Amino acid sequence: MMNSRIIEIVVGMFVAIGLGAFFFLAMYVSSSSAGSSSGYTVSARFENIGSLKTRSPVTMSGVLVGRVDTVSYDMERYEAVVTMTIQEDFNAIPTDTTASVYTAGLLGEQYVALEPGGEEEYLKEGDEISLTQSALVLEKVIGQVLFSKAEEGAEDNTDADEGF
Amino acid sequence: MWVLDKLQAIGKSSLGIFERFGRATIFLFHVLSGIGSLITRPQLLVCQLFFVGVLSLLIILISGLFVGMVLALQGYYILSHFGAEQTLGVMVAASLVRELGPVVSALLFSGRAGSALTAEIGLMRATEQLSGIEMMAVNPIHRIIAPRFWAGVISMPLLASLFSSLGVLGGYFVGVLLLGVDDGAFWSQMQSKLDFYDDVLNGVIKSIIFGFAVTWIAIFEGYDAIPTSEGVSRATTRTVVYSAFAILGLDFVLTALMFGN
């Protein structure tokens, strides 16, 4: 009888620490996306969204306020349409808010940053953010820098020619 | 004629494989129908949980710890080239929770517990203990096999969770305490990049499926073994080999389904 009691106690401990490990993985190693389901959705149109994807973060002043729901393309206006879910707690975002696509770090993931405007009216379910700023494409920026450098170089050369 | 002989040999062996798979499936249904006897006698399940789960703990915990430590060492070496040591925690935790936890613990489980189940059931058959139980009007599948099967299915996700957790702690030990990665960045990056539903829960579902497959193979090979010493030894070998195939093959399919897009 004693023996079976010990086995039961050990099995109980095994199940308990197994479940404990699962909760450790749930609470400390990962974060839940359950909170994103409750909230309201707004959409925004961008010329270029870079590599923005579903579940990319939406932030205000760097604080996470929501997630990107869908990314689609509007064939009539040739623009990308991004819908995002904002958490319920952040329900006082002015209608003239600017949405921009930024990159976290030099090679990091892309996210939507919201910068609030000064309107008295707030965004509601289904509203569209009209002020947007597209993602910077690194190649375009580098191309522009190279182009302007080349122009400067050409001007220097003509100056030198005139000096003779 | 030579060609016909070869064709006949191929046909015979493939029919044999199908027949064996069919028998394994019918056997599985008999085992699953035995769940009622476990509800009336949970003592049997607890006893098997001890032999299948608790006795596998040591190898799972130690392997998990060392796998996590090696991941942190190798990951640090590569990531430091890009100045991205901060993401070491993400790398260690993601690879453990998604792949290595379920897969390696299932491979260890098949070697530690699966082979033991096959040998035990095979020897019971060889020494006609199963027939003896049947003579006493007790269904051996319900009394002997079903508790072992469910013990395997229940133990596997618990063991895989422990493997992943110990691996993360091992990675923390090497990455933060030995190599000097920032403590806060290690945990916060890990937490923000890993999703509970996408990563942790999918890993647990994987390990339940692996536990199902490994235990099914183990008990069927034992039950189906030729009742001789040689037959039991062959069945034990087959358990480990088939389990490895099943785990790695299923892992590819499950990964493609869960993380494919």
DSSP for A23-57, written as a single string: HHIIIII-B--GGGGSEEEEEEEES--TT--TT-E
Residue A112 or A37, more confident? A112
Look at residue A106 and tell me if it is in a domain: yes
**Hey, where are the domains in chain B?**
34-259
Look at residue A121 and tell me if it is in a domain: yes
Look at residue A150 and tell me if it is in a domain: no
Looking at residue A31, what is its pLDDT?
Answer: 78
| Whether residue A122 sits in one domain with residue A48 | yes
Res A1 pLDDT > 80: no
Q: Give the count of domains, chain A.
A: 2
Residue A101 or A108, more confident? A101
Residue A108 with chain B: CB contacts under 8 Å: none
Looking at residue A62, what is its pLDDT?
Answer: 86
B6 residue type, one letter: K
Residue A22 with chain B: CB contacts under 8 Å: 157-158, 161, 200, 204
Mean pLDDT of A111-118: 88
Looking at residue B261, what is its pLDDT?
Answer: 62
| Whether residue A71 sits in one domain with residue A20 | no
Residue contact A22–B161, C-beta within 8 A: yes
Res A104 pLDDT > 70: yes
Residue contact A31–B47, C-beta within 8 A: no
Residues of A with CB under 8 A from a CB of B: 4, 7-8, 10-11, 14-15, 17-19, 21-22, 24-26, 28-34
Which residues have CB under 8 Å from A135's CB, separation 6+? A46, A48, A49, A50, A51, A52, A101, A102, A103, A110
For residue range A5-16, what is the model confidence (pLDDT) as tens digits?
A: 888 888 899 999
For residue range A70-83, what is the model confidence (pLDDT) as tens digits?
A: 889 989 989 899 99
Looking at residue A157, what is its pLDDT?
Answer: 67
Residue contact A7–B200, C-beta within 8 A: no
Look at residue A112 and tell me if it is in a domain: yes
Token pair 């829960």: residue: B201
* Res. A160 pLDDT band, cuts 50 70 90: low
Q: What stretches in chain B show pLDDT beneath 70? A: 261
Nearest CB among B50, B194, B197 relative to A11 is that of B50
Residue contact A18–B157, C-beta within 8 A: yes
Look at residue A1 and tell me if it is in a domain: yes
| Whether residue A129 sits in one domain with residue A49 | yes
Quote the ipTM score: 0.83
Please say whether the dihedral angle defined by the alpha carbons of residues B142, B145, B148 and B153, taken in this order, is positive or negative: negative
Residue contact B161–A11, C-beta within 8 A: no
| Whether residue A44 sits in one domain with residue A7 | no
Residue contact B200–A24, C-beta within 8 A: no
Look at residue A157 and tell me if it is in a domain: no
* Res. A158 pLDDT band, cuts 50 70 90: low
Q: Give the burial class of B204: count Cβ atoms within 10 A of its Cβ; 0-12 exposed, 13-18 middle, 19 or more buried.
A: buried
- Which of A1, A5, A7, A22 has the highest number of chain B CBs within 10 A, making it the mutation to test binding with B? A22
Looking at residue A87, what is its pLDDT?
Answer: 87
For residue range A13-60, what is the model confidence (pLDDT) as tens digits?
A: 999 999 999 989 888 888 776 554 578 889 999 888 888 888 788 889
Residue B165 with chain A: CB contacts under 8 Å: 21, 24-25, 29
Mean pLDDT of A86-110: 83
Residue A30 with chain B: CB contacts under 8 Å: 93, 97, 190-191, 194-196, 199-200
Res A164 pLDDT > 80: no
Looking at residue A107, what is its pLDDT?
Answer: 66
| Whether residue A23 sits in one domain with residue A57 | no
Domain residue limits at A8: 1-30
CA dist., res. B60 & res. B164, Å (int): 10
Looking at residue B75, what is its pLDDT?
Answer: 92
Share of chain A above pLDDT 70, in %: 89
Looking at residue A123, what is its pLDDT?
Answer: 86
Looking at residue A17, what is its pLDDT?
Answer: 92
CA dist., res. B45 & res. B42, Å (int): 5
Look at residue A159 and tell me if it is in a domain: no
CA distance A107 to chain B (A): 11
Residues in chain B: 261
Look at residue A156 and tell me if it is in a domain: no
| Whether residue A138 sits in one domain with residue A71 | yes
| Whether residue A115 sits in one domain with residue A54 | yes
Residue A14 with chain B: CB contacts under 8 Å: 49-50, 53-54, 57, 155, 158
| Whether residue A52 sits in one domain with residue A132 | yes
Q: Can you state the angle between helices B2-33 and B202-224, rounded to 10 degrees?
A: 110
Looking at residue A131, what is its pLDDT?
Answer: 87
